[in-house]
């Protein structure tokens, strides 16, 4: 394993965690506190924001995955944590975001979609991804993860 690969993976994981935290847990809740922002406008901004976040997360997931496959680190828990974050992004990309986009379109057009727990699921996935990324960063920075035996 080379130091530049491990260092690159550390940077990707920390950057990914920071962007996820900033968008999902700071900017988005703050947007819904703005009294002058109507619900359809807030949902429209949110839809655009999360589409952009998803593209950035996909890029981070691809880089992290490539670095892991390239031997950046071999720890079992590090691979598990990173894989969990990557899986979360893939679930959001192929299933959850398209469904939420359809619901957002209904609100933007002035309607009200049927009740669901999809937003809570999205939040839960973001929490899992964030915790997985923080765990991966800790393991990368501590350099104490157990080796994955072949």
Record the pTM: 0.92
SS3 115: coil
10-residue mean pLDDT profile of the chain (150 residues): values are 87 98 95 91 95 98 96 91 98 98 97 96 98 97 63
Structure tokens at 97: 């975001």
Strand partners for 75: 147
pLDDT the model gives residue 150? 46
96 near 125, Cβ under 8 Å? yes
Structure tokens at 145: 């993860």
Would the CA dihedral through 63, 65, 69, 75 be positive or negative?
positive
Which residue, among 8, 19, 141, 120, has the nearest Cα to 75 in the 3D structure? 141
Other CB atoms within 10 Å distance of the CB of residue 144: 9
């Amino acid at each position: 394993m080379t130091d530049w690969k491990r260092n690159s993976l550390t940077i990707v994981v920390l950057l990914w965690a920071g962007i996820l935290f900033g968008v999902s847990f700071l900017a988005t809740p703050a947007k819904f506190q703005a009294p002058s922002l109507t619900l359809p406008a807030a949902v429209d901004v949110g839809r655009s924001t999360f589409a952009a976040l998803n593209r950035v997360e996909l890029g981070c997931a691809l880089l992290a995955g490539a670095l892991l496959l390239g031997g950046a680190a071999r720890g079992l828990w590090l691979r598990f944590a990173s894989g969990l974050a990557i899986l979360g992004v893939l679930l959001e990309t192929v299933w959850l975001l398209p469904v939420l986009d359809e619901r957002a379109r209904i609100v933007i057009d002035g309607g009200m979609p049927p009740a669901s727990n999809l937003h809570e699921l999205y939040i839960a996935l973001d929490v899992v991804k964030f915790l997985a990324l923080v765990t991966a960063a800790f393991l990368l920075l501590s350099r104490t993860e157990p080796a994955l035996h072949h």
